Amino acid sequence: MNERSLALDALRGITLAMMILVNTPGSWSHVYPPLLHANWHGVTPTDFVFPFFLFIVGCALFFSNRKNHQLDIYTHALKIFRRTVLLLLAGLGLHAYLYSGTFAEFRLPGVLQRIALAYGAAAFIVWLPVRARIGSSLILLLLYIGIFALASGGYTLVANPVRHLDLWVLGAGHLWQGKGIAFDPEGLLSTLPAIVTVLSGYEATRIIVERTTQQKVLVIIAALAIGMALLLHPWVPINKYLWTSSYVLLTSGVAVLVLVALMQLESFRPVRPAYRAFAVYGENPLLIYILAGLWVKSLLAFSVGNSNLYAAFYHLLSLYFSDINASLVFAIFHVVLFWLIALWLHNRGILVRL
């Protein structure tokens, strides 16, 4: 694998396409179950999308470190800090766009904020030797398990330690309210295991680049991680909202297997056009994600009669499709729309990096 690996670019593009697909249904009341997150414990295909993105952040971090290895420590640290801050600001800016409420109700955590903090921490951890990096990952996962074991609320929605810390540090008004209470799936404490997700992408890429038996080694490691996740599940539930240690093992293991499968198929000529199409999506992933978020918020804010443009478009589609299929077509339309934007950027050689 190298900086121009088509398999890695395709995985990045597939992940971004899935992010847009699951985030933009025409109606949240009409969505096929696999395109929704699990209600609490357990996983659906949708629950693999965000950890795949963090895994890919780790892959990119490996190549970034190779490019920056000649930089002095101060300059390198400054670059990491700068990118972390820019990602945080981008996430807060996306939340602030067309926001009409008060600051007391402004959500502070978010997807880009999670990426920023997990990336920032992982970018410094990877300066350590290999054994220390692996040890750090194990410590983070075991520490997280230990915190939940000691917490009286355990893995429940209302009383879990992730929620308690966020309520104490950020306050209820600054958290997601999607579960009917103040609880944020991108909380502060659950960022700890998310760091390991980034590190798993880094180590997978390192093994591919540096070892001659890379794919066999990766498949064995991935199988062990998935097996461990399933064994732990009765005691450490697989849960995306809490980003549990078993969830990290499962999603990282599956991400490795998907990457290996894409690498195996890369030399198969008939699939290469599809790889290139998804690779276009993967060239500006953060920019496309932000543009998609701004677009959706704009549609929701633009009034059309007693409704908004988002709902009006869905209603138009529902005249020709069943409610659930209209919702799916709405989401697919946005996947294609932002692929066309990505293609426009690709054709003009525009690469936006934070």
Q: Consecutive sets of 10 residues in the chain, 354 residues long: mean pLDDT of each?
A: 73 96 97 98 98 97 88 92 98 97 97 98 97 98 98 96 98 97 98 99 92 80 98 98 99 97 88 91 93 97 91 97 98 98 95 86
CA distance 89 to 19: 20
CA distance 336 to 317: 16
CA distance 340 to 222: 34
The pTM of the full predicted model, rounded to 2 decimals, is: 0.95
pLDDT at 102: 96
Element (H, E) at 258: helix 245-265
pLDDT at 213: 61
CA distance 75 to 128: 17
pLDDT at 95: 97
* CA distances to 52, 72, 84, 334, 337 from 292, in Å: 18, 37, 21, 8, 9
pLDDT at 4: 53
pLDDT at 1: 55
Looking up tokens 């934070």 gives 354
pLDDT at 162: 98
